[in-house]
A and B are shown apart, each in its own frame.
Chain A
Amino acid sequence: MLSVRSLKRLNLGPLNLDISSGEIIALCGPSGVGKSLLLRAIADLDPNEGNIRLTEIARESMAAHEWRKQVMYVPAHSGWWADVVEPHFESALKSDVVDVLHKLGLESTALGWQVANLSTGERQRLSLARALVLKPKILMLDEPTTGLDGENKAKMELVIRNYAADGAGIIFVTHEPEQATRLSSRRLVLIDGQLKEASS
């Protein structure tokens, strides 16, 4: 579904990557190797070169914001542009929002919470939720379960698994080998600006 060919940016690539529908890829590698930069480049958030296509449609033939709606990056540290949670979900259907929040173990009252008072785990879950309700075809998650306790981590992994089962392609960054094995169908390691298939 997503095809990345000869992607290049500072200290990265040229590298190739394919993500198909229903697939979950774990992206591993030492800290500072450029895993986030790779995902940002695919989302076109930083200058980069390469031939990148979603279902055969070239990235450059789409407006940048249309591309990012379909190939969505969820950073490790979420940003918030309003004081309260709700405005961050304003373009989505309310029923979808409540549904996703429940699956992530949050009540709909979370929409009225002050962003400044959110815990790390709540930020992680809400920032995944606001991405999921927009129904991107490719979801790129940067350390999505950092700061979550065991129960909420399991809930989030289930949500990720189900979202892939519905036809999306997912790539996520993780530093936990167990999580990579548990959640992914394929593991990639980024070393020296190159992607390598990890043997499991």
Chain B
Amino acid sequence: MTAHYIQLNYIDLAIASVLLLVAGGVSMSLRLGLEKSLGIAALRTVVQLTLVGLVLKILFHMVSPWWTGLAALVMMLLAGREALARQTLKLSRGWSLGIATTSIMIAGTVVTTLALTTAIRPEPWFDPRFAIPLLGMVLGNTLNGVAVGMDRLSATLKREKDAIEARLALGHPRKEAVRPYIQESLRAGLMHIVNSMSAAGLIALPGMMTGQILAGIDPTEAVKYQILIMFLISGSTSLGALIAVVSVSHRLGDDRDRLRLDRFKHNSNG
């Protein structure tokens, strides 16, 4: 199949932006009050993506392990911050940020490196044109799994304090007492990836695959890439969520098998 790639110009984008104006008009006429946030969000999309496009263009010209590594590091730190922002209950002394960033870093680095060196194998393997977009997709999903898993575990341990302490008081080891809540949190953290794998292709075509098809790639080739990405994302999300949830559980306990809810920020131990 020899499709060709259709280049977009700025007039094409301006036409598409009319749709946004329609949405703004609807919001104003129905007094939804969304027009301002819609406008700001649209502006952010344009500015952020334009900047990212420029950065990527520069980065792709400099095929150096150092620049790729630096970009990857910045992305992972931002992902850690983003995961922290979605926590309702945070651990004191920066532990939430530490755990979120570390688990995202480990999972993202392991999975992306594995994919680059075994499956995709660009020459050199750290070529930013492959490494950076791949890492981006992996991180976006891993951060979601890590954030949901950590948030769920913190909320559940707080809510189930009486049940957990009842088991501890009856002589159950802490590991046993918190195991059901760790399982529940991991299930919550992995839910979106299971859903998107199950629904892939049936309800919507995944974004990356759509992009490749629009760019003229044969659909069967695009599907292979999409399957690879799905597997990488689920591997990385599981690994990241597992590390994060187990670490939070560890931090909320101690060597005498106690439940240490006093280690939440703004002491919420009721």
Does A73 contact B167, Cβ atoms closer than 8 Å? no
A72 part of interface (Cβ distance < 8 Å): yes
A120, chain B: closest CB distance, angstroms: 14
A80 part of interface (Cβ distance < 8 Å): yes
A152, chain B: closest CB distance, angstroms: 21
Interface size class of B (residues with CB under 8 A): 20 to 34
A79 part of interface (Cβ distance < 8 Å): yes
Does B166 contact A65, Cβ atoms closer than 8 Å? no
B13 part of interface (Cβ distance < 8 Å): no
Pick from A44, A73, A75: contact of B256, CB below 8 A. Answer: A44
Pick from B160, B171, B174, B255: contact of A81, CB below 8 A. Answer: B160
B10, chain A: closest CB distance, angstroms: 61
Given contacts A44-B256, A46-B258, contact A78 B171 (CB under 8 A): no
Which residues of chain A (59-100) have a CB below 8 Å from chain B?
Answer: 63-66, 68-70, 72-75, 77-81
A47 to B162, CA, bound (A): 17
A45 to B161, CA, bound (A): 12
Q: Chain B residues near A81 (CB, 8 Å)? A: 160, 163-164, 166-167, 177, 180
Does A79 contact B166, Cβ atoms closer than 8 Å? yes
Q: Chain A residues near B82 (CB, 8 Å)? A: none
Pick from A45, A70, A78: contact of B168, CB below 8 A. Answer: A45
A47 to B263, CA, bound (A): 12
Number of inter-chain CB pairs below 8 Å: 70
Given contacts A46-B258, A80-B166, A81-B180, contact A134 B171 (CB under 8 A): yes
Does A72 contact B257, Cβ atoms closer than 8 Å? no
Given contacts A47-B258, A81-B180, contact A68 B171 (CB under 8 A): yes
Q: Chain A residues near B180 (CB, 8 Å)? A: 81
Q: Chain A residues near B163 (CB, 8 Å)? A: 79-81
Does B258 contact A78, Cβ atoms closer than 8 Å? no
A153, chain B: closest CB distance, angstroms: 22
B173 part of interface (Cβ distance < 8 Å): yes
A185 to B160, CA, bound (A): 36
Interface string of B234-270 (1 = CB under 8 A from A): 0000000000000000000011111110000000000
B35 part of interface (Cβ distance < 8 Å): no
Does B256 contact A78, Cβ atoms closer than 8 Å? no
Q: Which of B168, B169, B177 has the most CB of A within 10 A?
A: B169
By beta carbon, the residue of chain B nearest A44 is B256
Which residues of chain B (1-48) have a CB below 8 Å from chain A?
Answer: none
Interface string of B169-191 (1 = CB under 8 A from A): 11111100100100000000000
Does A75 contact B169, Cβ atoms closer than 8 Å? yes
Q: Chain B residues near A77 (CB, 8 Å)? A: 162
A104 part of interface (Cβ distance < 8 Å): no
Does B170 contact A45, Cβ atoms closer than 8 Å? no
A131 part of interface (Cβ distance < 8 Å): yes
B181, chain A: closest CB distance, angstroms: 10
Does B169 contact A64, Cβ atoms closer than 8 Å? no
B176, chain A: closest CB distance, angstroms: 9
Q: Chain B residues near A66 (CB, 8 Å)? A: 171
B84, chain A: closest CB distance, angstroms: 26
Does A72 contact B169, Cβ atoms closer than 8 Å? yes
A127 to B171, CA, bound (A): 14
Given contacts A46-B258, A81-B180, contact A65 B171 (CB under 8 A): yes
Does B171 contact A79, Cβ atoms closer than 8 Å? no
Does A72 contact B162, Cβ atoms closer than 8 Å? no
Q: Which of A43, A75, A81, A134 has the most CB of B within 10 A?
A: A81
Does A65 contact B160, Cβ atoms closer than 8 Å? no
B167, chain A: closest CB distance, angstroms: 6
By beta carbon, the residue of chain B nearest A68 is B171
Does B258 contact A79, Cβ atoms closer than 8 Å? no
By beta carbon, the residue of chain A nearest B269 is A46
B234, chain A: closest CB distance, angstroms: 30
Interface string of A124-145 (1 = CB under 8 A from B): 0001001100100000000000
The 8 closest A-B pairs by CB, nearest first: A79-B162, A69-B171, A79-B166, A64-B257, A79-B163, A81-B163, A64-B256, A68-B171
Using CB atoms and an 8 Å cutoff, list the residues of chain A in contact with chain B.
43-47, 63-66, 68-70, 72-75, 77-81, 127, 130-131, 134
A–B complex contacts, Cβ < 8 Å, 10 sampled = A63-B257, A64-B256, A64-B257, A65-B171, A65-B173, A65-B257, A72-B169, A72-B170, A78-B162, A79-B162
